Amino acid sequence: MAIERTLSIIKPDATRRNLTGKINAKFEDAGLRIVAQKRIHLSPAQAGQFYAVHKERPFYGELVEFMASEPVVVQVLEGENAIAKNREVMGATNPANADAGTIRKEFALSVGENSVHGSDAAETAKEEIAFFFSGLELVG
Ligand code: ADP
Ligand code: MG
């Protein structure tokens, strides 16, 4: 199996409720290594650019406003099959459909305020990591 890296974001609903450590424990317990991490407050323009792929969706405005509302923690997770593994640990987008034990089942408030973002494929992982981190910040 390939060692991959994926981009994760702990969203404002979770940083606000002081859940960063509990969420990071879920990643580490699943064998994912946090190889880069920083807490930042996105501007609406930055959040809009990050989620540009969703700009035609009806929830885009609400999503951008939410992601820029309070600080987020952006991080790079590394491990075997990290992209798919992280999606498993996150659970379904809508917490009502998420499996027991997943981050979204345990912590998400709603389909919008769902505690975490994770890249969905190798190409998006590469782009999303480069959006937030320089090579110098990725120490492995
Ligand atoms: P995921 O984060 O699971 O990859 P998507 O890429 O489809 O899900 O959507 C991006 C984000 O947009 C979601 O994580 C969620 O915060 C928000 N979102 C998705 N669907 C809805 C919806 N129906 N209503 C409000 N917000 C939504
Ligand atoms: Mg997505």
Q: Is 70 in the pocket of ligand 1 (CB under 6 A)?
A: no
Catalytic residue among 117, 128, 129, 132: 117
Q: What was the pLDDT predicted at 107?
A: 98
37: pLDDT strictly greater than 80: yes
Percent over 70 (pLDDT), the chain: 100
Q: What was the pLDDT predicted at 140?
A: 79
Average pLDDT value for residue range 40-56: 98
Q: How far is the CA of 111 from the centre of ligand 1 (A)?
A: 6
1: pLDDT strictly greater than 90: no
Question: HSE on the CB side for 111, CA within 13 Å?
Answer: 6
Q: Across the beta sheet with 33-40, what order do the strands follow?
A: 33-40, 72-80, 3-10, 116-118
The domains of the chain are located at 3-42+72-137
**CATH classification for the domain delimited by 3-42+72-137, as one of 3.50.50.60, 3.40.50.1220, 3.30.70.141, 3.40.50.720:** 3.30.70.141
| Residue-wise pLDDT tens digits, 84-122 | 999 999 999 999 999 999 999 999 999 999 999 999 999
Q: Is 114 in the pocket of ligand 1 (CB under 6 A)?
A: yes
Pocket test for ligand 1, best of 11, 54, 59 (most atoms within 8 A of CB): 59
139: pLDDT strictly greater than 90: no
Of 88, 72, 105, 74, residue with least CA distance to 31: 88
Q: Is 54 a catalytic residue?
A: no
Q: Whose CA is nearest to atom 26 of ligand 1?
A: 112
The DSSP annotation for 39-101 comes to EE---HHHHHHHTGGGTTSTTHHHHHHHHTTS-EEEEEEEEETHHHHHHHHH--SSGGGPPTT
Q: Is 92 in the pocket of ligand 1 (CB under 6 A)?
A: no
Average pLDDT value for residue range 14-28: 98
Q: What was the pLDDT predicted at 97?
A: 98
Residue appearing with tokens 């509302």: 69
pLDDT band of 76, cuts 50, 70, 90: very high
